[in-house]
Amino acid sequence: QFDDTYKILCDLPWTKMHVFPYSERQGTRAAILAQIPFHVRKERASLLRTLSQHRYHSEMLKQIDRLDEVLILNNEMNYEGVLYREALTKNYWPVLVPQDDHYKTGVQQNIRITKSAEIDGDYRLIAESVSL
């Protein structure tokens, strides 16, 4: 069953999965089903997380060179010696934009996505501001 599910997931369009091994709780349907050993559940969850990370990064790379509008968030982050503000696109892609005094939390800003980077284990898009 798991292999079939994995193959189907490979063929379906999605961007990111939230994966966790289930736990059987008394009074739930999972408690009365045949149990899969916990180490197998963990291994399968790991495979699904890896699939999700690859898919997410693959979809993220499609955003590069796009013009978009982001919502500036409150957080700042230093990446490769440059101070960035965190932002989100309309489709909730996490983006870092170079810090600028006119970027205020909650303000929308036009940007061009220039690259993707893995920072602290998470993929992020890096952008530059543009005037439209």
For residue 66, report the phi and psi dihedrals to the nearest 5 degrees: -90, 145
CATH tag for 67-129 (out of 1.25.40, 2.40.50, 1.10.3470, 1.20.120)? 2.40.50
For the entire predicted model, the pTM comes to 0.80
Q: How confident is the model at residue 38 (pLDDT cuts 50, 70, 90)?
A: confident
Ordered by start, the domain boundaries in the chain are 2-61, 67-129
Q: What is the pLDDT of residue 132?
A: 65
Q: What is the mean pLDDT of residues 20-41?
A: 82
Q: How confident is the model at residue 83 (pLDDT cuts 50, 70, 90)?
A: very high
Q: What is the pLDDT of residue 103?
A: 82
* Pair 88, 46: CB distance under 8 Å: no
**Helices 38-61 and 2-11: crossing angle, nearest 10°?**
10
Measured CA to CA, the distance from residue 43 to residue 12 in angstroms comes to 22
* Pair 112, 126: CB distance under 8 Å: no
3-class secondary structure, 119: strand
Measured CA to CA, the distance from residue 73 to residue 95 in angstroms comes to 10
